[in-house]
């Protein structure tokens, strides 16, 4: 197979909408099937997780394999024990991030998380021969294969580094753009230092159970600090290396939770509209907004395949918000604890409603290094502080009149 199928690009255009000419040209040029040596199908049950390898020959791909490669799916390409560690990302997510980067020819780009090298090749196509792409991968074998893929497809100027992405590539700085293709539990001070004046980075920065895409710029007046705003949503594998254990939201394991809810309560009124009761809850803007508000107000969050929720580890009680209701689960049949969790959730929703139902994009974010903390001059309606690895992340909710349109 010599060319990218027209159906692949057509599918991306149909699902994403209008794609800029440089991004569309890159997708028409870079052959995704040459950037995988094989992948794994994930089988998850209540008892185990298994990865089944696909027997794949890039030189002689089967038609059904090409159909899968050139579809809008992520492909798992490496795993460790029971967790995926590398993949080629979902193409529509790649489109979204490339568009948000607003790349131009001659730009210098740093990528954190090389994966198969496919995204680095797309970046190289867009910035052109006068630009530069540097990509960092912590897994040695993944970096080696990505380098082979890039070399084999003619992207000999893309530099692949096997190192902790936290460090960036100081010798090649400054960069006009920095993009992370892993879920980051924190922001690296090295990335801020390596940004060129007027440049910015795009980071899937973990907030609770999700990785909102945050556009971050270095401040001109205080270059050790940065400012950011949420511009989109993503789901990525977590970063490895220095930042791996820096997640501000702990994981909880509650044994002996019942399979069926102890009780069920109605959704609070902002969530009970018919428009909010279709699909997965976090696919709907109202749920996504409330979930983000929860991440700012609580560290005791509960992940669930059907939605999101709160956990009281002391009483071993869990609250799950689904598309239809709020369900309570208690390992000890502690109904009183579930009622307290529900009251807490209801109060937070009421506070969010009273603030004008802010969307995640309405919040502004400041990153201030430890030892440089100062209160900002503005008077936000509400403010939260999250301690990251290198920074205080200060999240402000401006007064409603000052929020972006």
Q: Give the pLDDT score at 99.
A: 96
Helices in 273-334 by DSSP H: which ranges?
A: 285-297
Q: Give the pLDDT score at 244.
A: 86
Helix 118-127 vs helix 140-152: crossing angle, to nearest 10: 50
Q: Is the peptide bond before 174 cis (omega within 30 degrees of 0)?
A: yes
Q: Which residues are bridge partners to 394 per DSSP?
A: 366, 385
What are 172-223's pLDDT values in tens digits?
Answer: 999 999 999 999 999 999 999 999 999 999 999 999 888 999 999 999 888 9
Q: Give the pLDDT score at 199.
A: 96
Q: Give the pLDDT score at 249.
A: 85
303 CB-near residues (< 8 Å, 6+ apart): 209
Number of other CB atoms surrounding residue 171 within 10 Å: 8
Output the CA–CA distances (angstroms, integers) from residue 262 to 46, 281, 329, 343, in the order listed: 20, 21, 5, 16
Task: Provide the strand spans (E) within 123-184.
Answer: 132-137, 159-162, 175-180
CA angle 382–387–391, rounded 5-degree value: 100
Radius of gyration of the chain (CA): 22
Q: Give the pLDDT score at 380.
A: 52
CA 172 to the chain's CA centroid: 26
The catalytic residues are 89
Does pTM surpass 0.85?
yes
What is 352-371 written as a DSSP string? Answer: HHHTT---GGG-EEEEEETT
With b for 16 or more beta-carbon neighbours within 10 A and e for fewer, the 311-323 pattern comes to: bbeebbbbbbbbb
In the chain (405 residues long), the average pLDDT of successive 10-residue segments reads: 89 88 97 94 72 90 95 90 85 96 98 97 98 97 97 97 97 98 94 96 92 95 93 90 83 86 90 67 90 92 89 93 92 92 94 92 94 57 88 88 60
CB 185 within 8 A of CB 250: no
Q: How far apart are CA 23 and CA 129, in angstroms?
A: 16
Q: How far apart are CA 290 and CA 79, in angstroms?
A: 33
């Amino acid at each position: 197979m010599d060319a990218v199928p027209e159906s692949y690009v057509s599918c991306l255009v149909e699902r994403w909408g209008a794609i800029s000419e440089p991004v569309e040209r890159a997708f028409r040029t870079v052959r995704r099937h040459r950037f995988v040596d094989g992948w794994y199908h994930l089988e998850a049950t209540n008892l185990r997780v298994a990865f089944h390898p696909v027997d794949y020959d890039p030189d002689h791909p089967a038609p059904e394999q090409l159909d899968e490669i050139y579809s809008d799916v992520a492909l798992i390409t490496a795993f460790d024990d029971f967790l995926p560690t590398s993949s080629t990302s979902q193409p529509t997510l790649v489109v979204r991030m490339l568009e948000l980067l607003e790349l131009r020819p001659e730009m210098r780009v740093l990528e954190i998380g090389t994966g198969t090298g496919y995204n680095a090749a797309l970046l190289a196509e867009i910035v052109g021969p006068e630009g530069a792409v540097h990509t960092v991968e912590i897994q040695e074998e993944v970096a080696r294969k990505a380098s082979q893929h890039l070399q084999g497809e003619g992207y000999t100027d893309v530099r692949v580094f096997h190192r902790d992405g936290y460090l960036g590539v100081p010798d090649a700085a400054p960069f006009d753009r920095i993009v992370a293709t892993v879920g980051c539990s924190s922001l690296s001070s090295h990335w801020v230092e390596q940004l060129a004046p007027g440049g910015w980075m795009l980071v899937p920065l973990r907030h609770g159970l999700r990785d909102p895409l945050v556009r971050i710029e270095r401040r001109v007046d205080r270059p050790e600090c940065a400012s950011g705003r949420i511009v989109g949503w993503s789901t990525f594998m977590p970063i490895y290396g220095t930042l791996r254990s820096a997640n501000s939201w702990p994981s909880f394991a509650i044994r002996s939770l019942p399979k069926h809810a102890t009780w069920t309560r109605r959704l609070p009124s902002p969530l009970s509209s018919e428009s909010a009761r279709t699909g997965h809850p976090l696919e709907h803007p109202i749920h996504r907004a409330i979930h983000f508000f929860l991440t700012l107000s609580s560290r005791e969050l509960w992940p669930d395949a059907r939605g999101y929720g709160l956990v009281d580890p002391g009483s071993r009680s869990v609250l799950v918000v689904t598309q239809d209701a709020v369900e309570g689960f208690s390992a000890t049949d502690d109904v009183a604890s579930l009622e307290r969790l529900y009251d807490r959730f209801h109060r937070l929703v009421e506070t969010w409603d009273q603030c004008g139902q802010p969307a995640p994009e309405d919040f502004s974010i400041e990153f201030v290094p430890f030892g440089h903390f100062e209160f900002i001059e503005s008077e936000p309606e509400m403010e939260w502080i999250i301690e990251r690895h290198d920074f205080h992340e200060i999240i402000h909710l401006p007064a409603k009149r000052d929020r972006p349109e």
